[in-house]
Structure 1
Amino acid sequence: MSATAFPAQPAAGSARWMLLALLVPGLLALMATFLLPMAWLLRASFSTSSMSAFGGGMTLEHYRAAITDPFYWKVAVNTLWLGVTVSFFAVVLSYPIALFLTRSESRWRGVLTALAVAPLLTSAVVRTYGWMVILGDRGVINGTLQSLGLTDAPIRLSNNSFGATVALVEILMPYAILAMLAGFGRLNPQLEEAAAMLGANKARVFWRIVLPLSLPGVLTAALLVFVLAISSFVTPRLMGGGRVFVLGTEVFQEATVTLNWPLAAALSVVLLALFSSVIVIYQRALRRLEA
């Protein structure tokens, strides 16, 4: 056979250079849109000038205030609790929907999936205002209860943590559904059929086969919802009525109202530290599941 029958393979060195050339545009975009702003934020958190990110010298005073002040400790706890609560209810409510869409063989499966994530086409601000109308003191729920004579006075459903949690759960459910749809690839109907043939009932099949195989997708959905929940600002601000304090609202308050940019930057770094901690926990849990 002729030596020219097969095309010449590129050398290993040239292949590496080609791979590097393909990575350069993405790395430059990542540096411009993420690394440089993060460096600016970190530098601003050490600034001694309250009105400038780079004015004056450097100090740890803003981190001391963010870490030692009992108010900010309470804000951090409120943020974590909000994220955990929203993640739990969003995943629990989204799991049956995602599992149904994964198992469905109907020709309407694509339409149902589109309907499940259709709320993403509407701004979170608009949906938050919708929940203000539903849960307000003169909203749909309170108006219905009072017209039926079930209550004499409005039930406080908004301007508190309950209203912010309900609104965030509904707003973030489409993200949880999408994450679980992407993570349910390990589900194998043949395993369930084999278990059923061996005498396992539906409940046992679910707890011993379906749920363990779907846990990676559940963890991914919980992580995504948690990160979005603890970084949210608009919904806690509007549904909380100024009574719900989370890190997102406090960063906005310090940056736009009191104009203390270094403290706002320090609080943002604390929020990023929470992100990093949760991601580390998620990675360890995922490794244990896949082991």
Structure 2
Amino acid sequence: MKILPIVVLNGLFFIAPLFLLVGMSFSGDGGATLQHYIRFFADPINIEVLRDTIYLGLKVIVFTTVVGYPVALLFMLLGPKGRRILLFCTVLPMLTSNVVRTLAWIAILGREGVVNNALLNLGFTSTPIQFMYNELGLIIALSQIELPLLVLPLVSVLAKIDRSLWEASTSLGMNAWRTFFRIILPLSIPGLIAGWVLVFASACMNFVTQAVIGGARLIYLPQFIYQEVNTLYDWPFAAAIAIVMLTSIGIVLGALTAVGRNRRINVYA
């Protein structure tokens, strides 16, 4: 009975709308039809948009891992006070609206933004670099926005690792790199995969950042759905695109989850 409110809320605000979305995607003038799905997969441009959306999520995973893993390692090495400060700094951006964080990246990545001004003043470039409205700028912004989703599960796993393992490996003659690859990295894989799942799903469906930083030049599935709903008013086709997006992202998440459930990995959990 304790979980009844959660079941009711999920049923009303997730499962029921999802069924309505599926039903709308099959609706046509003559009844149920597959024409919207056939229309989507028959157009190579739509397939390219789907592919770019998946690739975007994977690229953001790589960037957040490169930045977030050292942060999580630092958490492991710090004392209690340092951990509290680092955890606060990690969670703090999540207390700010995604819209505000995205708009802040305009001031950072713009032609007269912080990054370009620093590069010009240091003499690294003679002209401003174009970061806005391209994939590089979008990946940078998304990586910072999604970073806490990787760091928090990774930190929760690394915090459980006994520091005596690090000390024991050092006493046995293993250097820091070998200790990392033989002990720390394998033990952290469950948290890493959990972070990848959250980052990938959020990055692929982050409409605001994709629209503002990517602009009209870069089209991903969330923007595609928005155009069909608000510009062309083709709700059934938009519903079909949404189902394709959810299914495609679900397949990737399922693959990541399957890796996380691997027995050899779960030994370290």
Structure 1 and Structure 2 fold alike (TM over 0.5): yes
Q: Which of the residues 111, 116, 119 maps onto 2:93?
A: 119
Matched, 1:25 2:1: no
Q: Please state how far the C-alpha of 1:124 moved relative to its aligned partner.
A: 1.5
Q: Please state how far the C-alpha of 1:150 moved relative to its aligned partner.
A: 5.1
Counterpart-to-counterpart distance in 1, 2:129 and 2:110: 9
Q: Which of the residues 23, 32, 35 maps onto 1:43?
A: 23
Q: Which has the larger radius of gyration?
A: 1
Q: Please give the secondary structure, in 2, of the residue aligned with 1:242.
A: coil
Counterpart-to-counterpart distance in 2, 1:238 and 1:98: 29
Identity of aligned residues (%): 36
Contact 1:102 1:181 in 2 (8 A): yes
Matched, 1:194 2:168: yes
- Cα–Cα, structure 1 residues 279 and 145, in superposed 2: closer, same or farther, change >3 Å? closer
Q: Deviations over 1:42-96 (max 9, x none)?
A: 00111126xxxxxx62211111112221111110111011100101111221111
Counterpart-to-counterpart distance in 1, 2:157 and 2:249: 21
Matches within 5 A, 1:1-291: 21-48=1-28, 57-146=31-120, 151-288=125-262, 289-290=265-266
- For structure 2, the 5+ residue unaligned runs are none
Contact 2:193 2:257 in 1 (8 A): no
Contact 2:150 2:198 in 1 (8 A): yes
How many residue pairs were aligned? 265
Contact 2:109 2:116 in 1 (8 A): yes
Which runs of at least 4 in structure 1 moved beyond 3 Å after TM superposition?
Answer: 143-153
Q: Deviations over 1:217-267 (max 9, x none)?
A: 111111110010011111111111211111111111111111111111111
Calculate the TM-score normalised by the size of structure 1.
0.85
- Cα–Cα, structure 1 residues 210 and 152, in superposed 2: closer, same or farther, change >3 Å? closer
Counterpart-to-counterpart distance in 1, 2:164 and 2:116: 49
Q: Please state how far the C-alpha of 1:188 moved relative to its aligned partner.
A: 2.0
Q: Please state how far the C-alpha of 1:171 moved relative to its aligned partner.
A: 0.7
Counterpart-to-counterpart distance in 2, 1:185 and 1:104: 10
Q: Please give the secondary structure, in 1, of the residue aligned with 2:31.
A: coil
One-letter code aligned to 1:190: S
Q: Please state how far the C-alpha of 1:186 moved relative to its aligned partner.
A: 4.5
Counterpart-to-counterpart distance in 2, 1:151 and 1:29: 54
Q: Please state how far the C-alpha of 1:29 moved relative to its aligned partner.
A: 1.6
- Cα–Cα, structure 1 residues 181 and 150, in superposed 2: closer, same or farther, change >3 Å? closer
Counterpart-to-counterpart distance in 2, 1:188 and 1:275: 35
RMSD: 1.8
Contact 2:71 2:151 in 1 (8 A): yes
Q: Please give the secondary structure, in 1, of the residue aligned with 2:3.
A: helix
Q: Please give the secondary structure, in 2, of the residue aligned with 1:107.
A: helix
One-letter code aligned to 1:132: I
Q: Please state how far the C-alpha of 1:148 moved relative to its aligned partner.
A: 5.8
Counterpart-to-counterpart distance in 2, 1:223 and 1:156: 30
One-letter code aligned to 1:131: W
Q: Please state how far the C-alpha of 1:179 moved relative to its aligned partner.
A: 1.8
Counterpart-to-counterpart distance in 2, 1:158 and 1:148: 21
- 1:53 maps to none
Q: Please give the secondary structure, in 1, of the residue aligned with 2:81.
A: coil
Q: Deviations over 1:105-131 (max 9, x none)?
A: 142421221112211111111121111
Q: Deviations over 1:155-174 (max 9, x none)?
A: 21111111111110111111
Q: Please give the secondary structure, in 2, of the residue aligned with 1:200.
A: coil
Q: Deviations over 1:30-51 (max 9, x none)?
A: 11111101001100111126xx
